[in-house]
Amino acid sequence: MSTAWTSAPSGQARRGPGPILQVDDLRVQFRTGSGVVNAVNGVSYTLSEGQTLAILGESGSGKSVSAQAIMGILDMPPAEITSGRIVFEGRDLLTLSAEERRKVRGPGISMIFQDALSSLNPVYSVGFQIGEMFRAHRGMSRRDARRRAVELMDRVRIPAAAQRVNDYPHQFSGGMRQRVMIAMAIALDPRILIADEPTTALDVTVQAQVMDLLKDLQRDTGMGLVLITHDLGVVNEVADDVAVMYAGRIVERGTVDDVFGNPAHPYTEGLMGSIPQVESTGGRLRPIGGQPPNLAAIPSGCPFHPRCPRRRLGADALPGRHCAGDVPPLRLVIPGREAACHYSEEVLGV
């Protein structure tokens, strides 16, 4: 639980010597018939061993695209990585050849997806698919690979793994399928696991089981976990740090407790305000007004300003901090907290 980490001063460098993953000013565009869509606009973060970083954002905020860019599984074209570095174990992945890149996927960085049913090949038994990891990457025999598959299925707590190893994906429940997916993803002991909305397709009790499983596996292996989600509850339960994304940018970053307890960006503040509270029954939720930005035409200045209740325009704005004209950089607001808002201090109330 995140409460264990609240005494740590900052989100980085508190476990392990240095970051295992460093993303620097990543920018991704999609060239479509109707123009250029800027999906990711300068995202930077680091991930250390054993750290869980949640990337929080609504649909179209660029969280999945940035993850796919890190994995190297973006369809290019139409996507194009226009700038940035993705440093993993001292190498910039973007400069590697396709074949070197492929060798990183699996043993280095692995990924699980939202919909486990469609992410598993329907024509192979789950044991075969898990075993394929060992056969493809380690050149194991079928017999050994199958044995390892059963061990992995046990490890992700699939009951009666030995009996179910020859079953097909459609014969499993949603939660069990996601476990199969997780078993495949952790088969080669990756140093980083990217989980792209791993629990979105599951019901709440199964969600909790799957997140517990991921946390336990992380504790055993010390892998870094990037959790992409729009579920504030999941973030609160399992993540150490959170990066809030809006319009392809990180707008706030810090420990989960800090960010959730006292947001430094009006967007995060709006997200917190839209959570249903058990105590305030009968009260109205306070949604964020307006529409998510069109990524083909991102508003000038702060991309959130058209929806921001705290925006300062015209004479209200301080010099160089005009919400509709000046893009706010992601800056250190207070120790351990970064936010991309001209008036973060005001939002924080410090």
Partner 1 sequence: MTDQQRDDLRHDEVGAGTTTGLAAPSVDVTDTRQNSLWSDAWRALMRNPLFWIGGVLGVLFLLVATFPGVFARGADPRDCSLSNSKLEPSAEHWFGYDQQGCDYLANVVYGARNSLIIGALAVVVILVLGVTVGALSGFFGGVVDSVLSRIADIFYALPLVLGALVILRSGSLGRGVVAVAIALSAFGWMTAMRLVRSQVIAVKSADYVAAARAMGASNSRILVRHILPNAVAPVLVYATITVGVLIAAEATLTFLGVGLQRPAISWGLQIDAGQSLLRTAPHLVFFPSIVLTLTVMAFVMMGDALRDALDPRQRS
Convert 124-155 to b/e letters by CB count within 10 Å (16 or more is b). ebbbbbbbbbbbeeeebeeeebbbbbbebbeb
Query: Shortest gap between Cβ of 146 and partner 1 (angstroms)?
Result: 4
Query: Shortest gap between Cβ of 142 and partner 1 (angstroms)?
Result: 4
Q: Which is nearer to partner 1, 10 or 119 (CB)?
A: 119
231 scored as a contact of partner 1 (CB under 8 A): no
Q: Report strand pairing: 241-246 vs 79-88.
A: unpaired
Q: Which is nearer to partner 1, 145 or 247 (CB)?
A: 145
Query: Shortest gap between Cβ of 269 and partner 1 (angstroms)?
Result: 34
199 scored as a contact of partner 1 (CB under 8 A): no
213 scored as a contact of partner 1 (CB under 8 A): no
Query: Shortest gap between Cβ of 124 and partner 1 (angstroms)?
Result: 6
Residues 59-118 contacting partner 1, CB under 8 A: 71, 73, 99, 102-107, 110-111, 113, 115, 118
Sign of the alpha-carbon dihedral angle for 115, 117, 123, 127:
positive
The phi-psi region of residue 336 (left if phi > 0; otherwise alpha if psi is between -120 and 50; otherwise beta) is left
11 scored as a contact of partner 1 (CB under 8 A): no
Q: Which is nearer to partner 1, 30 or 246 (CB)?
A: 30
Q: Which is nearer to partner 1, 127 or 328 (CB)?
A: 127
Residues 134-193 contacting partner 1, CB under 8 A: 136-137, 142-143, 145-147, 150, 154, 160, 162-163, 165-166, 168, 170, 181, 184-185
Scanning 47-55, 128-136, 274-282, 342-350 for contacts with partner 1 by CB under 8 A, the matching segment is 128-136
Q: Report strand pairing: 52-56 vs 224-229.
A: parallel
Query: Shortest gap between Cβ of 145 and partner 1 (angstroms)?
Result: 6
Contact 167, 125 (CB under 8 A): yes
DSSP percent split of the chain into helix, strand, coil, nearest 5: 35, 25, 40
Determine the angle formed by the axes of helices 126-138 and 174-186, rounding to 10 degrees.
Answer: 10
- From residue 301, alpha-carbon distances to 84, 298, 305, 313 in Å are 21, 9, 8, 11
Q: Which is nearer to partner 1, 6 or 121 (CB)?
A: 121
Q: What values do phi and psi take at 39, rounded to 5?
A: -85, -40
Q: Which two tokens stand for residue 301?
A: 């200045």
Half-sphere exposure of 258 (CA within 13 A, CB side): 26
Query: Shortest gap between Cβ of 36 and partner 1 (angstroms)?
Result: 21
The 307-326 contact track toward partner 1, x by CB under 8 A, reads --------------------
Half-sphere exposure of 156 (CA within 13 A, CB side): 24
3-state secondary structure of 29: strand
Q: Which two tokens stand for residue 289?
A: 């007004």
Q: Which two tokens stand for residue 193?
A: 């696991």
Whether the upstream peptide bond of residue 9 has omega within 30° of 0, thus cis, is: no
Query: Shortest gap between Cβ of 51 and partner 1 (angstroms)?
Result: 21
Binding residues with partner 1: total (CB under 8 A): 45
Query: Shortest gap between Cβ of 11 and partner 1 (angstroms)?
Result: 26
Query: Shortest gap between Cβ of 184 and partner 1 (angstroms)?
Result: 6
Q: Which residues bind partner 1 (CB under 8 A)?
A: 71, 73, 99, 102-107, 110-111, 113, 115, 118-125, 127-128, 131-133, 136-137, 142-143, 145-147, 150, 154, 160, 162-163, 165-166, 168, 170, 181, 184-185
